[in-house]
């Protein structure tokens, strides 16, 4: 007599042969000079005007753009932009939380200090790029969800900058998807200068050296005279010389152009 309280499967079942999981995907020890491969897709959210999803290593970012939509109140002759970046709540601690986040949550917006910093930086990057005067009486809302970060190196100084760079790139693609007019696609580069070495996306082993280092993130409009739209520098080096700074700009520009070329070819291929 079979068990009547449960709905049982048919008697002659075959268990499918499921291969064992190969464990977590740890980014392989990267060549210090190369950008790891990344995955990009746009138009992922049906009811947003533009959206994009980006995946690099364990960093997963989703951006949705709403608007231009009407605003209430006084007349404005160009669109206003609001940006909100949020970590999913299970990302604890947030990158650099010990440095930036105060004990109390910032009141009105419900964003933590790190999220505020990210939102502010992103807003600074996209404002010079958008043709806001084409959209009077409107607002454009950008919502960034950070689904996952490279948790292995949460303490890593460069991790926040690395994340920030990909947020900016992903947002650019979402803007292209939305059809909102923009002067150029923003991309960026993020490198660490450590002695004579230039390291892209440093891992934990790079952090263990005692040598002073400087982490830089620069975002560019590469086709518009390589104009810099965002700059963020961290590090434990006390003295940042002009030569170092020049090197930083050049290395970031190089990386930015590689990412830009990838995004360009992705966009053109997706158009067909």
Partner 1 sequence: MSVVVPGQYITPVYKLDESSQRPLKFSPGRGTTISDITTDTNTTKSIPVITSTILGTVHIKQIDTDDKEFTTSIVTVVPKGQTFIEESADTETSINLPKENDVVLIRITRISPKQVFGEIISVERANGSGGNILADSGVGANGSTAHASMPPGSATTITQHAFNQSTIASSSTTAIQVPDIGENFRGVIRSQDIRSTERDKVKVIESYRPGDIVRAVIISLGDGSNYYLSTARNDLGVVFAKSENGAGELMYPIDWEHMIDIKTGEIEMRKNANPFV
Best CA proximity match to 232, nearest among 161, 167, 150:
161
# residues near partner 1 by CB under 8 A: 59
User: Considering only 9-17, 127-135, 197-205, 251-259, which stretch makes contact with partner 1 by CB under 8 A?
Assistant: 127-135
Among 71, 97, 228, 245, binds partner 1 (CB under 8 A): 71
DSSP states along 66-129: EEEEE--SS--SS-EEEEEEEE-TT--SPTTHHHH--SSPPTTT---HHHHHHHHHHHHHHTTT
Among 97, 100, 113, 141, binds partner 1 (CB under 8 A): 141
For the chain, how are helix, strand and coil distributed in percent, rounded to 5? 30, 30, 45
Show the 3-state SS of 131-186. CHHHCCCEEEEEEEEEEECCHHHCCCCCHHHHHHHHHHHHHHHHHHHHCCCECCCE
Cβ at position 62, least distance to partner 1 in Å: 9
Tokens of 209: 């050296």
Q: Smaller CB distance to partner 1: residue 133 or 211?
A: 133
Beta bridge partner(s), residue 59 = 56
Taking the C-alpha atoms of residue 113 and residue 96, their distance in angstroms, rounded to an integer, is 10
Among 36, 93, 136, 212, binds partner 1 (CB under 8 A): 136
Decide if residue 246 touches partner 1 (CB under 8 A). Answer: no
Cβ at position 94, least distance to partner 1 in Å: 13
Decide if residue 271 touches partner 1 (CB under 8 A). Answer: yes
Residue 258 · residue 190 · CB < 8 Å: no
Tally the residues of the chain: 272
Q: Smaller CB distance to partner 1: residue 66 or 166?
A: 66
Cβ at position 80, least distance to partner 1 in Å: 6
User: Considering only 44-52, 210-218, 228-236, 242-250, which stretch makes contact with partner 1 by CB under 8 A?
Assistant: 44-52
Taking the C-alpha atoms of residue 3 and residue 44, their distance in angstroms, rounded to an integer, is 45
Q: Smaller CB distance to partner 1: residue 137 or 197?
A: 137
Decide if residue 116 touches partner 1 (CB under 8 A). Answer: no
Cβ at position 160, least distance to partner 1 in Å: 19
User: Considering only 10-18, 28-36, 109-117, 156-164, which stretch makes contact with partner 1 by CB under 8 A?
Assistant: 109-117
Decide if residue 182 touches partner 1 (CB under 8 A). Answer: yes
Among 119, 213, 222, 256, binds partner 1 (CB under 8 A): 222
160-177 residues labelled b (16+ CB within 10 A) or e (exposed) = bbbbbbbbbbbbbbbbbb
Beta bridge partner(s), residue 219 = 188, 230
Decide if residue 120 touches partner 1 (CB under 8 A). Answer: no
**Which chain residues interact with partner 1 by CB under 8 A?**
46-49, 64, 66-76, 80, 82, 84, 86, 88-90, 105, 107-111, 131, 134-139, 141, 143, 145, 175-176, 179-185, 221-225, 263-264, 267-268, 271-272
């Amino acid at each position: 007599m079979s068990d009547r309280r449960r709905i049982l499967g048919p008697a002659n079942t075959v268990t499918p042969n499921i291969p064992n999981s190969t464990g977590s995907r740890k980014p392989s020890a990267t060549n210090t000079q190369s950008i790891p491969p990344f995955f990009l897709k746009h138009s992922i959210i049906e009811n947003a005007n533009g959206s994009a999803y980006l995946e690099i290593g364990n960093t997963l970012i989703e951006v949705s753009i709403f608007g231009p939509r009407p605003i209430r109140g006084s007349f404005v002759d160009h669109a206003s932009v609001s940006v909100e970046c949020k970590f999913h709540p299970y990302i604890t601690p947030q990158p650099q939380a010990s440095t930036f986040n105060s004990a109390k949550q910032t009141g009105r917006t419900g964003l933590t200090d790190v999220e505020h910093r990210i939102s502010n930086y992103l807003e600074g990057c996209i404002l010079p790029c958008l043709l806001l005067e084409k959209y009077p009486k409107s607002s454009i809302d950008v919502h960034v969800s950070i689904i996952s970060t490279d948790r292995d190196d949460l303490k890593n100084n460069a991790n926040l900058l690395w994340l920030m760079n990909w947020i900016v790139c992903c947002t650019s693609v979402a803007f292209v998807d939305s059809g909102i007019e923009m002067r150029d696609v923003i991309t960026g580069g993020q490198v660490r200068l450590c002695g004579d070495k230039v390291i892209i996306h440093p891992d934990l082993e790079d952090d263990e050296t005692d040598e002073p280092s400087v982490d830089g993130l620069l975002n560019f409009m590469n086709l518009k005279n390589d104009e810099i739209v965002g700059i963020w520098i961290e590090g434990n080096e006390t003295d940042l010389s002009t030569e170092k700074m020049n090197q930083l700009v050049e290395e970031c520009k190089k990386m930015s152009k590689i990412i830009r070329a990838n995004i360009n070819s992705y966009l053109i291929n997706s158009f067909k």
